[in-house]
C-alpha cells in the first residue's frame, strides 16, 4: 500500500484526494503491522472499511472516479500525440537514434 501511495503521489496529475487517502491508509496499515499486541478484529475491519471506501471512490460513479477517468483519458490522448511527434521527427531525421 505504501508503494501504491508513493506512486500516486509521484504521478503527474494524480488526484490529490486519492494520494492523501492512500497515504493515510498506508500509514494505518504500517501502524497495525508494527503493533506489539495482537491485532483486533475491529482494527482490521476498520482498515478494510477504509480500503473498501477507496475502491468505491475510484469507481466511475465514485467521488474520485471522474478524476481518474479524465486523467486516464488525457493520458490516452497525449501518448499517441507524443508518438506521432516522434515519428514525424524520425521521418525528417532518419539517422536519429530511437
- C-alpha torsion 27→18→10→48, nearest 10: 40
Q: Could you report the per-residue pLDDT of 35-92, keeping only the tens digit for each? A: 777 667 787 778 788 888 888 877 778 777 777 667 665 655 676 677 687 767 767 7
Euclidean distance between the first and the last CA atom of the chain, given in angstroms as a whole number: 35
Of the pLDDT bands very low, low, confident and very high (cuts 50, 70, 90), residue 98 is: very low
pLDDT: which is higher, 17 or 27 = 27
Predicted pLDDT at 77: 64
Q: Supply 16's cell numbers.
A: 490529490
Q: Supply 92's cell numbers.
A: 525528417
pTM for the structure as a whole: 0.60
Predicted pLDDT at 16: 81
Contact (CB, 8 A) for 71 and 13: yes
Predicted pLDDT at 4: 75
**CB-hemisphere CA count at 13 Å for 9?**
12
**Whole-angstrom Cα distance, residue 41 to residue 46?**
8
Amino acid at each position: 500500500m505504501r508503494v501504491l501511495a508513493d506512486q500516486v503521489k509521484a504521478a503527474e496529475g494524480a488526484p490529490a484526494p486519492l494520494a492523501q487517502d492512500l497515504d493515510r491508509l498506508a500509514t494505518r496499515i504500517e501502524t497495525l503491522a508494527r503493533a506489539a499486541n495482537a491485532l483486533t478484529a475491529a482494527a482490521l475491519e476498520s482498515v478494510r472499511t477504509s480500503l473498501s471506501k477507496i475502491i468505491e471512490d475510484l469507481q466511475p460513479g465514485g467521488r474520485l472516479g471522474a478524476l481518474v477517468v479524465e486523467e486516464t483519458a488525457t493520458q490516452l490522448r497525449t501518448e499517441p500525440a507524443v508518438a506521432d511527434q516522434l515519428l514525424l521527427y524520425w521521418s525528417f531525421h532518419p539517422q536519429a537514434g530511437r
